[in-house]
Chains A and B, each alone.
Chain A
Amino acid sequence: MPDPVIALHAVKKNYQDVPILDIPQLELPKGIYWLQGENGAGKTTCMKVMAGLIPFKGEILLQGNVSSRQHPVQFRRLINYAEAEPLYPSFLTGRDLLELYLNTKGGDREAVRDISDSMGVDIYVNNPVSSYSSGMLKKLSLLLAFTGNPALILLDEPLITIDTRALTVLYDLIRTYSAKGVSFCITSHQALDAEELTVTGTLKVAHKNITLS
């Protein structure tokens, strides 16, 4: 069996004294996963833990050998995350953020520019984010998730607030990147369109654990 794209070992996360996640073991081969769970089940916390945004106990390995603890920089190169409700400093422009991501995560600038054009982000990229609507902000955060050379992209509620054209582009992007070997973990309360995406597996967050079915 090939190395899993991501493996969680004894991952625990508490908020103060309240345990939110307690995942003894989870290994995911390459693919597209739909992460499901009720409100407050810990989906977003799980994604933030995987993305290295919040501290946790335990260890996460990417591609079998990149450790969240021993290789924090390499780890962050391989995993991208788009938040459900992105929030950025009001004075930054989309271009400021895009340049920051491209300068740190690297990747093909031309490809990112094409995605920006197809999503319609290029129209407002030079404006400060304070002038963006929630949909515009969401599109920008999705665009940022496709920068660099990630092995795994985490998309938190990507289907909400964006327009139908952007949604078509997003499905197309997921298919294209998946064909190149990039894995996806997507949370959504709405069902993913079966005609647009073939889901490898469904992950269920419940009772602080994640199970793959």
Chain B
Amino acid sequence: MRTTSAILSKIFTQRFYIQNTGFFLVLFYLLFGVVNGANLVAYHKALMLGFLGNYSFLLLVMLLWTSYALKCVGFILKTFQLQGYDFLFPTLGSVSKPARIRLWLLLHTAIYMPVLVYAGIALIIAIQHQYYVPAALIVVLNMANCVWPLRLYERKLAQPDVLFFTSHLQRWLNRHFTKPPVLFFLYELLTNFPRRIVSTKLFSAGVLWLTFLIMERGEYFDLRGLQIGVMVSVMIHMQLMVHHRAFDDTYLHFMENLPIRLAGHYARLIGVYLIMFLPEMIMITVNAYTKTPIGGLITVFCTALSLLILFRCLLYFPKMNPEIHVRYTMLTSFIVLFMILGHYEWPAILLLQAASAIIFFKKYRSYEPYIPPES
């Protein structure tokens, strides 16, 4: 017969480590893979002595441990929200409080274990080298990180509708701030598909970083080079555009009954991509404002936005599936690339804008999702 803790361990602990395999692989590589095996112990001992002997460094390490604790808490609380996991409320709710606290402690420490192991070794080193105050801080912090989450788990069990500890802020925002339609899709990405937007933004930032690195190594700055980097960055956003269309098709159907002018809908579309590309625009400005006049930056931003908007507008052709979309975006990009290389940036921007507007105003009201006929 399986014990309750074994079943819960399967639900929480095993799932946590399976879902975070990638995270642990990267972490283990950074901690143990980048150092020569022969020097590994000496390296980690030096690292521990480093943070034990410096309070600023220790604070940073403690912040990292606490952020990992937050990750653990988030995982357990989110499990309760998952479809099919409702049974946790009546089952765990039927366990006596002391036994339940023990179960929480067991589950939480099991997923917090990597930090406990590393902190435990650091503690031994601290005592050996008579770093008593840092040792005490490590003990207190890790005990706290094992205990305070239990209170949250208890609270979650008693109030199933309360989400994490951002709930108060979220509720306050919901009462005092009305989400404008221009933010709907960004909310969708940030709340329901955070990995998708984060990975897109990381890749996009990586491409821009590489663009600046290549130009810096070559000791030159050419606006056209930057624009080519920006074009690649825009193309990385294509998966978000396809998602945007699916989101509009599924959830924003009701907006078609609202008395909004076509120009209003178009302005909203432009706004979505302007806000979405804002992080890249900031990154470009920070890296390029000393190398090019403001006019150059405006040209780059206009090219990026024009491409984003046209690529999204292409999806107003109902039969434009992701495969066909890629073909058209590649073709457009090649044409724009040669226009940029030939210093025809503004004619390219104007053409892109005109094409976007024509497609949007012609297609928006008549668009409806394409359902492929059954073969």
Give A contacts to B, CB under 8 Å.
Answer: 15-17, 51-55, 72-77, 79-81, 83, 86-93, 95-96, 99-101, 104-105, 126-128, 131, 148
Contact = CB atoms under 8 A, between A and B. Distances in A.
A91 B188 CA distance: 7
A54 B368 contact: yes
Contacts of A83: 254
Contacts of A75: 259
A100 B256 contact: no
Given A87-B250, A104-B258, A104-B259, 14 more contacts: A51-B256, A73-B260, A75-B259, A77-B259, A80-B257, A81-B257, A89-B247, A91-B179, A91-B188, A93-B179, A96-B174, A105-B258, A127-B174, A128-B174
Nearest to A94: B174
Contacts of A52: 256-257
Contacts of B175: 95, 126
A113 B256 CA distance: 24
Contacts of A93: 174, 179
A126 B174 contact: yes
A79 B257 contact: yes
17 contacts: A51-B257, A55-B366, A72-B262, A72-B365, A73-B259, A79-B257, A87-B251, A88-B251, A88-B254, A89-B188, A90-B191, A92-B184, A95-B175, A96-B178, A100-B178, A126-B171, A126-B174
B253 A53 contact: yes
Interface residues of B, number: 31
Given A15-B371, A89-B252, A127-B174, A104 B184 contact: no
Nearest to A80: B257
B367 interface: yes
Contact of B368 (A17, A55, A131): A55
Contacts of B178: 95-96, 99-100
Contacts of B56: none
A91 B187 contact: yes
Contacts of A90: 191-192
Contacts of A96: 174, 178-179
B327 interface: no
Given A86-B254, A126-B171, A76 B259 contact: yes
Please list the 9 inter-chain residue pairs (A to B) with the smallest Cβ-Cβ separation, ordered nearest first: A76-B259, A77-B259, A99-B178, A55-B366, A104-B258, A89-B251, A91-B191, A73-B259, A53-B256
Contacts of B181: 100
Interface string B186-204: 0110011000000000000
B261 interface: yes
Contacts of B259: 73-77, 104-105, 148
B367 A95 contact: no
A83 B250 CA distance: 14
Contacts of A53: 253-254, 256-257
A35 to B, nearest CB: 17
A137 to B, nearest CB: 12
A22 B91 CA distance: 56
A88 B187 CA distance: 13
Contacts of A101: 258
B373 interface: yes
